[in-house]
A and B are shown apart, each in its own frame.
Chain A
Amino acid sequence: MPLVSFNPRIPTRCTAGVWFVAVWLLASGTLGPVQPWALGQTDQLDPEAFQFFEQKIRPLLIKHCQECHAHDTQASGGLRLDSRAGWQTGGDSGPAIAPGDPEQSLLWRAISYEDPNLQMPPAGKLSGEELRDIQTWIQNQAVDPRVEPIAAQPTHQPLTPPDAQQHWAYRPLQRPPVPDSETNDANPIDRFIDHELQARGITALDRATSAALWRRLHNDLSGLPPESSPELPSDSSSAEFDQRYLAQVERLLASETFGEKFARHWMDVVRYADSVTLRGFVLPNAWRYRDYLIAAFNLDKPFDQMIVEQIAGDRLPSPADDEIADPVKLHRYRQALIATTFLTLGNTNLETQDKRALELDYIDEQLDVIGQAFLAQTISCARCHDHKFDPIPTRDYYALAKILDGSIGLVHDNVSTWVESPLPLSAEEELLRANLISKVSAADQELAILKAKLAPIAQQKNIRMDSLPGVVLDDDQAQLVGDWVVSQHTAPFLEAGYRHDAATSRGQKTATFQTQTLPAGKYDVRMSYSMGSNRATNVTVDVFSADGQTTLRVNQQQRPNVDGMWHSLGSFRFEANGQAYVMISNQDADGHVIIDGVQFLPLAEASSPKEPKQADSSPTATNHEKSITDPSAEIRAAVARSEGQRRQWQQQLDAQPKFMSLRRKVEPSTLPILIRGDHKRPGHVVDRGFLSANGFPETISIPENSDGRLELAHWLTDRRNPLTARVYANRVWSWLMGQGLVPSLNNFGTTGSPPTHPELLDWLACELIDNHWSTKHLVRLIVTSKAYQRRVAQRSFEADPINQWYGAGHRRRLSVEALRDSMLLISGELDQQRGGSTVSSGTVADYDYQHESLRRSIYQPVFRNALPALYGEFDFADPGRSIGQRNRTTLPAQGLVLLNSTWVSARAKAAAQRIREKCRASSDAEVTSKVLVKTAYQQCLGRLPTEEELRIGRVYLETIGPEGDDPLVDLVQALFGSLEFRFLE
């Protein structure tokens, strides 16, 4: 027998381990915190008991338990079985042994394997003899001579909230004095930067060339290259250039392209996406949040207001009726609501079966993003234990989680879904809506009357399968398990008859109606049964579709809901070659279970059934029954008409704008601290609250009737919060300068990097707050600084190899969006339309989505399973989590895709054609290769070629280039792949 060792998988990790089966289920409350018996044992041991322990129990514990439950191993679940004190104190769930009483002992419960949630050792149950020994030992008071000290305290001591200010980030924010400099009119940023440079004896480089600086500015503020070649003064240090530069800063700040560029920065931080990974579900209204961000940055909405709206836009006071009539106020109200989509965009695993666990994971994800985005704190580390490094105790985590637990962005089902709520409407739109609603309800009444007429007709006869649309399966075609009795007793029924289970062998009979040939799409799935008073009221019906398994209960004593024969089970999505079947079982049935037929009705047809097939078109046309005209045809046609209209109105109703939102929970949250993050192990209850390390925890109180989200938003944006403004100012700096003053943008904790320029960071943060949290104010300050405008060093400074003192400009890469947008702009194909949904209509899942749109990259749907061309190769931000700084990788796949992909080739082709046209238009003479090369360089790189570059280009165009194909395409594509195109100088 192999050595049985084990590893109890108590979730001790920083992760959502709540699925774990081996769970110490017993809440600490059951046994009480202090057990008198745990204190009673003395060191006076009975020699017989001592011998029994040494011979039987000690080896057994070593062999089976101590690999995990010992102070020098993992002490899984906090439990140590290597000393008496270890099991007396016990682990997370309290003492492990109640001496004298095995039944009351957690240890016994675990090793007896009687509780499916608690089975130890995980590698397999102990032998019968071993179990008897343990039982005997516990019964005889669990005599245990082992008195070794409990584990030594860990050497590393994390910060606690009271000492939080030992770490720079938690210290209060104060405006530092600006260092003196020779020219006191200088940009304060330069006075901070120069001060450090001088202190280190680094001589800063001068301004970049005018072309390089122009391109840098355009890229940073708009994400696009300068479109036409401006006649720039060649000397970038001239006053004339200065003037042009300052004017261009204002122009770019005022352009709508500014919001498109800056919204994308923020979208990295908030893990923006238009779909979820699992099953590729498309989130059809996520784009409204993207458009909200673009508009907010363009309006220069104060960032504190943006925070409040993103965290609690739905908790702001809603405008009164007369205010809604004001389109401006209505718009503002809508924008605030849409902003809360921020909380709903996690890459949620909707399939998780334990729905409470799913909700807690959802909240964890929200906390993770809120913590990183606004505070640069790794709060979610404190879900299972106090933060190992930062002053974030578990009680703070649950104080925050309890706030978020006041609402949830999920509707539960086997596969849960997200929540979409209608946006508030103007009075005019409300009227339209009310009108539609009354139309629909009138149609419902009419349909009820028509269908009642239809029912008696239907009852007269059996129905032929080939008279029905969609895929129809009779009970004869079902896979049957158990005995089913054929009957024709009660009409109507499909084909020759139906079957029933004779109300015997409950839980042992099933009928599976399966089709292998269903085309992909959405279907109304229906079953037929003949109703009757002896029928079961609770027939279990499972529909297996692309969305998993849906269990329904059908009352067969009631009239089938469609027309007295067919009963609609709902609409379901099916994939090609995916599962498509309905299983009816007599599990727990309280009467006869009837199986007759199942119909998969394509949804397009559901309301407009095709005409019953003509008798003569059927091979069995001679059949007497078929030649009879169906007397119900007229009524059926009326039903179809009415249903068709109803569907149209319903579609108009459904088209009312919606946004991704949270639904408020009815009951206030009672979420306690969860031991090791496991919701089956509740601990102490904490009040709602905020991070205690940030100070002023008591000054913002949460009223009883509030779920606390608005207060959370106010706490985040409070001037006394030392993190929020610092974190955001640092981000804006990094978006323009290429790296943060704190390089770890999402982590200001003790494991992050300290600021290179703490005073400058604080100055910028104060500047932000004092200027109404204006993003554009910070941007203007930074891009007009000398530090921003320096040229990139050819070789790194010896005194500053990573350029952290900003003596030179940072060489930066074009983001994938800028790369893509630049090519489209140069090729003349860029579609500059702004805003709105860009997902092709009818897209339900993102798999294999074809991104064909030529709009700016920010408008391409961020599909987690199908990113647009180039995104995968060029370090696009992982949309699954908050990203502060994108990766910077250099991979062969990048070269391959730039040179070989059809997308880039198509852009090069269009750009070459455009360049030829441009050249032709500007000159009467025949276009020479010299002109072509010059124009190509000007268009692609924003500068003219050098002599040697011109020579190379001409040689290629004149002699080397391919026969038949346009060599200019190659030149353009090579320029797209060149260093200067991919990097900003």
Chain B
Amino acid sequence: MACSLERRQWLQSAACGFGALALQSLLASSTPASATNQPRSAAKRIIFLFMQGGVSQVDSFDHKPLINQRAGEVLTFADSRQLAKIGRPTEQRLLASPWSFSQHGQAGRWVSELFPEMAKQVDDLCFLHAMHTEGVAHGPATLFLHCGAMQEVRPSFGSWVLYGLGAENQNLPGFVSIAPSLGNGGARNYGNAFLPTTYQGTPIGTPGAESLQINALKSPLAPQHELARRELLRHINRQQADRLGAADELQGVLESYELAWRMQAVAPDILDLSQETAATLAAYGINEPQTQTYGRRCLLARRLCEAGVRFIQVNYGDNSANPAWDQHSNLPKHAEHAAAVDRPIAGLLADLKQRGLLDDTIVWWGSEFGRTPYSENNGTGRDHNPNAFTMWVAGGGFKPGFAFGETDEFGFQGVEGRVHMHDLHATLLHQLGLDHLQLTYKHAGRDFRLTDVHGRVIQDLFS
């Protein structure tokens, strides 16, 4: 390559002279003022550990010894699927849990042997044992979990959060979903629907692959080459902008390139897990074949969390119609999934706590629904149960070592402290400083909310 002087000048003529830029149109920094009038905002961001397919509560955190004592007995249950199909309760056979439970932590929480690592941290967790939701099948229930609606196209939770809070780090996407499934709603589960595209979730990686990358983030060119071409585009655009005028819209495009290049500079570093110590990698289980996939996702979540991403979803699932935890048959397969996520999640919790991030970060764990205490068609697995299931939250101002709600003697139906998915959405928004009644967006002639016309904030959960 010739003429080093000209080359240096070329590269040094930094982007400047564009005047006041139309940043507002670009950056997710506009917040609906009325939505953030909460007196107190404990949390700044949220990590959602999505266990796709439906973890069985009666085999994990909702201990019901009666199921094992009366296993094999046939009882009448208001099974959701049968209720939807034929409109009446049906006879079902109780299926014993293959796993034993023991008590953990100061609070003496019951945890099954599926989650030995998480069991050590129950004093940091806040359990919701009587969750209930909409949708008996995966598709509807998964969309309901993410968007608060089953059939209609609505913005996802993360989009609402980003719309409400704005981005903390202008060089990174404010809402990411790590290894999201294509199934059961796919991109709608991190979609912005009618909110501006700025609030759309950015997928990183896919369920099957190990690679955790953002689309088109890496330039295929060598660094010097790329810098030179960048400058060429700046020159060309500046010439055009002089001719075309100073419209905000055009300035916005120019700024969007600068932002893209900053992201290109910053994000790969954050996505690069090799900078972590061996001890950290071990804590997330990254050196074990069984745990390394989910471990890497959890570790990335912590790095994104530190970098100021508002909503980070860490998926454990796949693209199939019966994803991951969906054990209609062969319930023992739950152990495989548990082994894959237990250490990574425990590692994440410990790491966040140790770095002081747990105070202003909510960690939220769970599935689109739970499972039945009885077996599917008297087989070897459990069917879906949207009537009752366990989720937990940690950090972000939620009561540590607390459990809310109770299910009946078989863990089939909530009997006390029931929390609907709309309620949990409202409660999580509240902890992020957002009032679910005020966080609205006008579309098609009316104001829309994540919680539609429902939702109540569960005050009992706050410390």
Q: Which A positions have Cβ atoms within 8 angstroms of B? A: 1-7, 9, 12-16, 19-21, 67, 74, 116-117, 122-125, 277-280, 347, 349, 351-355, 357, 361, 365, 372, 378, 381, 388-390, 479, 481-482, 507-510, 512, 514, 540, 542, 544, 546-549, 575, 577-579, 581, 583, 585, 587, 744, 746-747, 749-752, 792-796, 811, 847-848, 864-866, 875, 878, 880-881, 887-897, 899-902, 905, 946, 948-949, 952, 955-956, 958-963, 965, 970-971, 973-975, 977-980, 982-983, 985
6 A-B residue pairs with Cβ-Cβ distance under 8 Å, sorted by A, are A16-B150, A278-B139, A747-B444, A847-B182, A889-B198, A962-B228
Q: Which residues of B contact A978 (CB under 8 A)?
A: 233, 236-237, 240
Tell whether A970 pairs with B329 under 8 Å between CB atoms, given A508-B378, A577-B318, A880-B153. no
Q: How far is the CB of A92 from chain B (nearest CB, A)?
A: 14
Indicate the size class of the contact surface on chain B.
Answer: 35 or more
Nearest neighbor of B74 in chain A, beta-carbon distance = A507
Q: Which of B363-378 contact A (CB under 8 A)?
A: 375-378
Compute how far the CA of A864 lies from the CA of B423 in the bound complex, rounded to whole angstroms.
30
Compute how far the CA of A581 lies from the CA of B377 in the bound complex, rounded to whole angstroms.
13
Whether, in the assembled complex, B328 has its beta carbon less than 8 Å from a beta carbon of chain A, the answer is: yes
Q: Are B221 and A280 in contact (CB-based, < 8 A)?
A: no
Q: Which residues of B contact A952 (CB under 8 A)?
A: 232, 235-236, 239
Q: Are A974 and B232 in contact (CB-based, < 8 A)?
A: yes
Compute how far the CA of A956 lies from the CA of B257 in the bound complex, rounded to whole angstroms.
20
Nearest neighbor of A372 in chain B, beta-carbon distance = B444
Compute how far the CA of A756 lies from the CA of B329 in the bound complex, rounded to whole angstroms.
62
Q: Are A21 and B80 in contact (CB-based, < 8 A)?
A: yes
Nearest neighbor of A974 in chain B, beta-carbon distance = B233
Compute how far the CA of A13 lies from the CA of B446 in the bound complex, rounded to whole angstroms.
12
Q: How far is the CB of B255 from chain A (nearest CB, A)?
A: 8
Tell whether A278 pairs with B232 under 8 Å between CB atoms, given A577-B320, A900-B216, A900-B219. no
Tell whether A891 pairs with B404 under 8 Å between CB atoms, given A577-B320, A585-B379, A896-B217. no
Q: What are the 6 tightest A-B residue pairs by CB atom distance, in nearest-first order?
A: A794-B245, A751-B445, A116-B78, A895-B260, A892-B260, A889-B197
Q: Are A896 and B221 in contact (CB-based, < 8 A)?
A: no
Nearest neighbor of B219 in chain A, beta-carbon distance = A900
Compute how far the CA of A279 lies from the CA of B87 in the bound complex, rounded to whole angstroms.
26
Q: Are A959 and B320 in contact (CB-based, < 8 A)?
A: no
Q: Which segment, of B158-166, B186-194, B284-292, faces chain A?
A: B186-194
Q: Which residues of B contact A482 (CB under 8 A)?
A: 378
Q: How far is the CB of B421 from chain A (nearest CB, A)?
A: 10
From B93, B134, B249, A507 is in contact (CB under 8 Å) with B93
Whether, in the assembled complex, B252 has its beta carbon less than 8 Å from a beta carbon of chain A, the answer is: yes
Compute how far the CA of A602 lies from the CA of B296 in the bound complex, rounded to whole angstroms.
37
Residue in B139, B378, B416, B423 whose Cβ sees the most chain A Cβ within 10 Å: B378
Q: Are B83 and A959 in contact (CB-based, < 8 A)?
A: no
Interface string of B436-463 (1 = CB under 8 A from A): 0000000011100000111110001000
Tell whether A125 pairs with B256 under 8 Å between CB atoms, given A280-B186, A481-B379, A961-B228. no
Q: Which of B395-427 contact A (CB under 8 A)?
A: 404, 406, 414-418, 420, 422-423
Compute how far the CA of A547 lies from the CA of B135 in the bound complex, rounded to whole angstroms.
17
Tell whether A481 pairs with B240 under 8 Å between CB atoms, given A7-B456, A794-B246, A895-B257. no
Residue in A16, A67, A352, A973 whose Cβ sees the most chain B Cβ within 10 Å: A352
Q: Which residues of A contact B335 (CB under 8 A)?
A: none
Tell whether A7 pairs with B420 under 8 Å between CB atoms, given A890-B25, A899-B219, A978-B233. yes
Tell whether A514 pairs with B330 under 8 Å between CB atoms, given A353-B81, A970-B229. yes
Compute how far the CA of A578 lies from the CA of B74 in the bound complex, rounded to whole angstroms.
30
Q: Which segment, of B2-10, B34-42, B352-360, faces chain A?
A: B2-10
Tell whether A881 pairs with B220 under 8 Å between CB atoms, given A122-B420, A955-B6. no
Q: Are B416 and A887 in contact (CB-based, < 8 A)?
A: no
Q: How far is the CB of B382 from chain A (nearest CB, A)?
A: 13
Q: How far is the CB of A937 from chain B (nearest CB, A)?
A: 10
Q: Which residues of B contact A19 (CB under 8 A)?
A: 84, 134-136, 140, 150
Compute how far the CA of A6 lies from the CA of B416 in the bound complex, rounded to whole angstroms.
10
From A277, A577, A811, B188 is in contact (CB under 8 Å) with A277
Q: How far is the CB of B112 from chain A (nearest CB, A)?
A: 22
Compute how far the CA of A900 lies from the CA of B229 in the bound complex, rounded to whole angstroms.
11
From B257, B261, B263, B420, A9 is in contact (CB under 8 Å) with B420
Q: Are A349 and B151 in contact (CB-based, < 8 A)?
A: yes
Q: How far is the CB of A736 from chain B (nearest CB, A)?
A: 19
Q: Are B137 and A352 in contact (CB-based, < 8 A)?
A: yes
Tell whether A794 pairs with B233 under 8 Å between CB atoms, given A13-B454, A751-B446, A865-B182. no
- Give 17 A-B pairs besides A4-B416, A389-B445, A975-B236 with Cβ atoms closer than 8 angstroms: A12-B453, A13-B454, A481-B375, A507-B378, A549-B328, A575-B321, A889-B197, A893-B202, A895-B259, A896-B215, A896-B260, A896-B263, A949-B236, A952-B236, A955-B10, A974-B229, A979-B254
Whether, in the assembled complex, B1 has its beta carbon less than 8 Å from a beta carbon of chain A, the answer is: yes
From A381, A847, A864, A902, B183 is in contact (CB under 8 Å) with A847
Nearest neighbor of B224 in chain A, beta-carbon distance = A962
Compute how far the CA of A542 lies from the CA of B81 in the bound complex, rounded to whole angstroms.
15
Q: Which B positions have Cβ atoms within 8 angstroms of A? A: 1-3, 6-7, 10, 25-26, 72, 74, 78, 80-81, 83-85, 87-89, 91, 93, 130, 132, 134-140, 149-153, 182-188, 193-194, 196-198, 202, 215-222, 225, 228-233, 235-237, 239-241, 243-247, 249-250, 252-254, 256-257, 259-261, 263-264, 318-322, 326, 328-330, 375-380, 387, 404, 406, 414-418, 420, 422-423, 444-446, 452-456, 460
Compute how far the CA of A514 lies from the CA of B202 in the bound complex, rounded to whole angstroms.
37
Q: Which residues of B contact A747 (CB under 8 A)?
A: 444-445
Compute how far the CA of A381 lies from the CA of B244 in the bound complex, rounded to whole angstroms.
44
Q: Are A509 and B80 in contact (CB-based, < 8 A)?
A: no
Compute how far the CA of A13 lies from the CA of B152 in the bound complex, rounded to whole angstroms.
12
Tell whether A15 pairs with B151 under 8 Å between CB atoms, given A277-B185, A544-B322, A796-B247. yes
Q: Are A378 and B444 in contact (CB-based, < 8 A)?
A: yes
Tell whether A583 pairs with B81 under 8 Å between CB atoms, given A277-B188, A959-B7, A979-B240. no
Q: Are B74 and A280 in contact (CB-based, < 8 A)?
A: no
Q: Which residues of B contact A958 (CB under 8 A)?
A: 2
Q: Which residues of B contact A881 (CB under 8 A)?
A: 153
Compute how far the CA of A472 lies from the CA of B89 in the bound complex, rounded to whole angstroms.
36
Tell whether A123 pairs with B416 under 8 Å between CB atoms, given A878-B193, A894-B256, A896-B263. yes
Q: Which residues of A contact B452 (CB under 8 A)?
A: 13, 15
Compute how far the CA of A948 lies from the CA of B256 in the bound complex, rounded to whole angstroms.
24
Nearest neighbor of B206 in chain A, beta-carbon distance = A848
Q: Which residues of A contact B330 (CB under 8 A)?
A: 479, 512, 514
Q: Which residues of B contact A352 (CB under 8 A)?
A: 137, 140, 150-151
Compute how far the CA of A479 lies from the CA of B331 in the bound complex, rounded to whole angstroms.
12
Q: Are B253 and A890 in contact (CB-based, < 8 A)?
A: yes
Q: Which residues of A contact B137 (CB under 8 A)?
A: 351-353, 548
Nearest neighbor of B234 in chain A, beta-carbon distance = A974
Compute how far the CA of A6 lies from the CA of B132 in the bound complex, rounded to whole angstroms.
13
Compute how far the CA of A587 lies from the CA of B454 in the bound complex, rounded to whole angstroms.
40
Q: Are B322 and A578 in contact (CB-based, < 8 A)?
A: yes
Q: Which residues of B contact A864 (CB under 8 A)?
A: 186
Compute how far the CA of A111 lies from the CA of B249 in the bound complex, rounded to whole angstroms.
58
Q: Are A5 and B456 in contact (CB-based, < 8 A)?
A: yes
Q: Are A893 and B3 in contact (CB-based, < 8 A)?
A: no
Q: Are B10 and A20 in contact (CB-based, < 8 A)?
A: no
From A378, A746, A897, B216 is in contact (CB under 8 Å) with A897
Q: How far is the CB of A22 from chain B (nearest CB, A)?
A: 10
Compute how far the CA of A977 lies from the CA of B408 in the bound complex, rounded to whole angstroms.
61
Q: Are A280 and B85 in contact (CB-based, < 8 A)?
A: no
Q: Are A896 and B420 in contact (CB-based, < 8 A)?
A: no
Tell whether A902 pairs with B7 under 8 Å between CB atoms, given A3-B460, A5-B456, A512-B329. no
Tell whether A890 pairs with B252 under 8 Å between CB atoms, given A4-B417, A21-B387, A900-B220. yes
Compute how far the CA of A948 lies from the CA of B137 in the bound complex, rounded to whole angstroms.
62
Nearest neighbor of A969 in chain B, beta-carbon distance = B229
Q: How far is the CB of A950 from chain B (nearest CB, A)?
A: 10
Compute how far the CA of A122 lies from the CA of B330 in the bound complex, rounded to whole angstroms.
33
